[in-house]
């Protein structure tokens, strides 16, 4: 009986709890789904916008680099033509050639210096200042390249530190076929510290970079300047092999740069007409700093909302549990006899209707038993109501102790009890009732010098019969038991 009451209450309470859990869970799912989507969308939009900026900057750097190397190539070509036209003059000392080289230097904003190398590798400046300023560069690749059929021609050499000026530069050399003064090689030296300022002003601050890389992966220049990086080779890195080494132009994001280990966004393109690649990068930390701040703020707000929702749900559920507990208490009071703790008439009606439906649906037996305490009025009159109440509680406990968990015990009022024996026919019920009567007769009540006896009337449910008819037949059987002298049990089948 108690299980039924708890189930009825818990069922409605459980549904309400599931609704609360579902609403709060759905709200939080939508909230965090929005946070996740917004964060992804904002990050993607930020990177896409900056990718366009990087690609535009890469185009500008490409043009600057191409113009710089084109100017170097043009200067070398013009100088070489002058030598070919004046093969009988020493160019290092010829006023016309000295003026030409100075004009070319001024035209390049002093970014490019033209120098000469003799066949034995002796370096000569323009103008030639004498033997004291000369050094041998026969070991340099820009010199050696002009004596190798595979590399002869315009050759972009690896960056070197000048043995005369001590400055780092990129030599670009060409062969000389006709010239006075035994000149074999002309090269234009692009000193890196002179071009660094231009690219430094253009790179994305604070951690962006601009690089000029030879087609074989050799770093020719990088802004910001770093002597450890210039001259290094990245041809074996995945970055180069998947992107710069095989594509003409592109953009990618790297979790770890092979140069400095930073995560970077990289845009690159090959330089038209020259064996070069220019790459413009930006640190993802720099690009995503604002996004991270916005995401942190949004996550904090979402977290506060989530905490508020959880607290509200907890408060609501606690209130619902409190209401459920109050409701259970009220229903317990409504369905339970306050003196004995067994069911009352209302509970009997509920359970009897339910058991009749079950018996009818599954074709099971059901027997109702009316109990009445013999001469109970005399107990109250002679020994007081306290003793009478004790007797009622003892009888109720005895009846409950002698039935199964699936059976039901109810007090109708006064000294009358009803027991519903489920899945029990009339013959088995008689045996159970006799056992219950014997247990009641064995009770000892303090303050009562005699034992209590109990009479019983039994009726088995019939197909199509309602609750009122079943109880009426059990009550008639009880009447016959009392009329026969009490302390007995009769069925409604007995005359």
pLDDT in tens, 357-404: 999 999 999 999 999 999 999 999 899 999 999 999 999 999 999 999
> Residue 132's pLDDT band (boundaries 50, 70, 90)?
low
What does the mean pLDDT of the chain come to?
89
Kindly state which CATH superfamily the domain 48-287 is placed in: PAS domain (3.30.450.20)
At 368 the three-state DSSP class reads: strand
CATH class in words for 345-491: alpha beta
Give me the mean pLDDT over the 182-198 stretch: 89
More confident residue, 81 or 449: 81
The pLDDT score that the predictor gives to residue 131 is 55
What is the pLDDT confidence band of residue 125, given thresholds at 50, 70 and 90?
A: confident
| DSSP per-residue codes, 17-31 | HHHHHHHHHHHHHHH
Give the model's pLDDT for residue 96: 92
Strand partners, 372: 416, 455
Q: What is the pLDDT of residue 494?
A: 65
pLDDT at 162 over 80: yes
- Asked if pLDDT for residue 128 goes beyond 70, the answer is yes
DSSP 248-287: SEEEEEESS-TTT---EEEEEEEPTTSSEEEEEEEEHHHH
Sheet strands side by side (includes 489-491): 408-413, 416-422, 366-373, 454-460, 489-491
Computed on alpha carbons and rounded to an integer, the radius of gyration of the chain in Å comes to 53
CA-nearest of 260, 251, 209 to 232 is 260
Domain spans of the chain, in order of start: 48-287, 345-491
Give CA separation, 3 vs 8, 66, 325, 478, in Å. 9, 89, 15, 29
Q: Are strands 366-373 and 416-422 parallel, antiparallel or unpaired?
A: antiparallel
> pLDDT class for 90, splitting at 50, 70, 90?
confident
pLDDT range class, residue 130, cuts 50, 70, 90: low
pLDDT at 332 over 90: no
Place of tokens 């109050």: 326
Alpha-carbon distance of 285 to 255, in angstroms, equals 11
Query: What is the per-residue pLDDT for 468?
Result: 94
pLDDT for residue 447? 87
Question: How far apart, in whole angstroms, are the C-alpha atoms of residue 189 and residue 135?
Answer: 15
Closest of 347, 353, 379 to residue 366, by C-alpha: 353
Domains 48-287 and 345-491 share a fold: no
pLDDT reported for residue 326:
80
pLDDT band of 2, cuts 50, 70, 90: very low
Which of residues 422 and 196 earns the better pLDDT score?
422
Give the residue-averaged pLDDT of 150-161: 92
Euclidean distance between CA atoms 92 and 119, whole angstroms: 15
Q: Which of the pair, 442 or 128, is modelled with greater confidence?
A: 442
pLDDT at 1: 43
Q: How many whole angstroms separate alpha carbon 267 and alpha carbon 250?
A: 6
Instruction: Determine the average pLDDT of the residues in 242-247.
Output: 90
Tokens of 224: 């910001």
Answer for the pair 234, 213: CB distance below 8 angstroms, yes or no: yes
Residue 454 · residue 372 · CB < 8 Å? yes
pLDDT at residue 4 is higher than 60 = no
């Amino acid at each position: 009986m108690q299980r039924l009451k708890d189930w009825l209450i818990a069922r409605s309470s459980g549904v309400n709890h599931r609704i609360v859990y579902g609403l709060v869970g759905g709200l939080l799912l939508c909230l965090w789904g929005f946070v996740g989507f917004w964060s992804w969308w904002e990050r993607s939009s930020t990177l896409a916008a900056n990718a366009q900026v990087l690609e535009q900057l890469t185009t500008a750097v490409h043009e600057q680099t191409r113009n710089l190397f084109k100017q170097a190539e043009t200067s070398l070509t013009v100088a070489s033509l002058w030598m070919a036209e004046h093969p009988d003059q020493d160019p290092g000392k010829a006023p016309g050639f000295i003026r030409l080289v100075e004009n070319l230097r001024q035209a390049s904003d002093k970014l490019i210096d033209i120098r000469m190398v003799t066949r034995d590798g002796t370096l000569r400046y323009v103008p030639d200042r004498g033997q004291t300023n000369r050094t041998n560069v026969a070991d340099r690749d820009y010199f050696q390249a002009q004596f190798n059929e595979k590399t002869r021609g315009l050759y972009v050499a690896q960056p070197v530190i000048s043995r005369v000026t001590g400055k780092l530069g990129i030599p670009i050399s060409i062969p000389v076929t006709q010239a006075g003064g035994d000149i074999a090689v002309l090269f234009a030296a692009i000193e890196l510290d002179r071009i660094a300022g231009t690219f430094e002003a253009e790179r994305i601050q604070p951690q962006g970079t601009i690089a000029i890389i030879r087609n074989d992966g050799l770093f020719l220049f990088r802004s910001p300047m770093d002597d450890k990086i210039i001259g290094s080779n990245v041809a074996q890195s995945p970055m180069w092999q998947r992107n710069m080494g095989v594509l003409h132009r592109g953009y990618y994001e790297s979790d770890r740069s092979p140069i400095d280990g930073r995560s970077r966004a990289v845009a690159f393109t090959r330089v038209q007409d020259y064996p070069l690649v220019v790459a413009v990068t930006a640190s993802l930390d720099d690009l995503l700093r604002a996004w991270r701040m916005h995401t942190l703020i949004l996550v904090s707000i979402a977290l506060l909302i989530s905490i508020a929702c959880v607290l509200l749900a907890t408060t609501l559920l606690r209130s619902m549990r409190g209401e459920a507990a109050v409701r259970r208490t009220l229903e317990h009071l409504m369905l339970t006899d306050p003196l004995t703790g067994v069911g009352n008439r209302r509970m009997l009606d509920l359970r009897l209707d339910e058991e009749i439906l079950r018996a009818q649906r599954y074709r099971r037996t059901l027997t109702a038993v009316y109990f009445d305490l013999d001469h109970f009025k005399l107990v109250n009159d002679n020994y007081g109501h306290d003793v009478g109440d004790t007797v009622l509680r003892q009888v109720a406990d005895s009846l409950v102790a002698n039935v199964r968990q699936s059976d039901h015990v109810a007090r109708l009022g006064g000294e009358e009890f009803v027991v519903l024996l489920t899945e029990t026919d009339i013959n088995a019920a008689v045996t159970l009732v006799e056992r219950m009567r014997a247990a009641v007769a064995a009770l000892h009540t303090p303050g009562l010098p005699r034992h209590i006896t109990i009479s019983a009337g039994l009726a088995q449910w019939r197909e199509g019969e309602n609750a009122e008819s079943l109880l009426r037949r059990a009550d008639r059987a009880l009447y016959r038991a009392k009329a026969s002298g009490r302390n007995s049990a009769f069925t409604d089948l007995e005359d």
